[in-house]
Amino acid sequence: MSAFARARVDRAPSAWTGSFYYLVFFFGSGSYFPFLYVHLSDLGLSGEQVGLLATFPPIMTMLLSPVVAGFADRNRLRVRVSQVGLACLAVTMFLFRFPRTFGTVVPLMLVFAMLLTPFTSVADGWSPAWPIATG
């Protein structure tokens, strides 16, 4: 085996890459999402308003996951779509510090839901296949 081939094998991603992705994703989700709705209640939103905002992620999952996953698969951009989406999601999570009324929280929650939902289906497509494809 040449030195170039050996270096390529040493740098090849393994099953740990997908595992690390899920570790970071679910650690972040578990440490942030339960407190998001408490934060919204602390802003003075009613239970009905918080409940309405809580319906956005499942609805966006139904509407956007097939579209985004299909786009990522068709263009072979699964990893890039996941990276860009999660980076934008992190920025959106930071922006939740600023709105104080229901009218300003709704657009931010819609963007949050649109960015959050498709990435688990995209990651489900690339993480198991990555070790197989890279040897």
Full 3-state SS string of 88-102: HHHHHHHHCCCCCCH
Q: Are 75 and 62 in contact (CB under 8 A)?
A: no
pLDDT exceeds cutoff 70 at 87:
yes
Structure token digits, residue 38? 């408490």
Average pLDDT for 41-50? 94
Q: What is the pLDDT of residues 107-116, one digit of tens each?
A: 999 999 988 8
Within 13 A of 109's CA, how many CA atoms are on the CB side? 24
pLDDT at 131: 53
Query: 1-10, 23-32, 91-100, 109-118 — which one is most confidently predicted on average?
Result: 91-100
pLDDT at 111: 92
For residue 34, name the pLDDT band (cuts at 50, 70, 90). confident
Q: How far is CA 1 from CA 8, 94, 104, 132, in A?
A: 11, 48, 60, 20
The fraction of the chain above a pLDDT of 90, given in percent, is 31
3-state secondary structure of 14: coil
Structure token digits, residue 62? 């139904």
Which has the higher per-residue pLDDT, 21 or 33?
Answer: 33
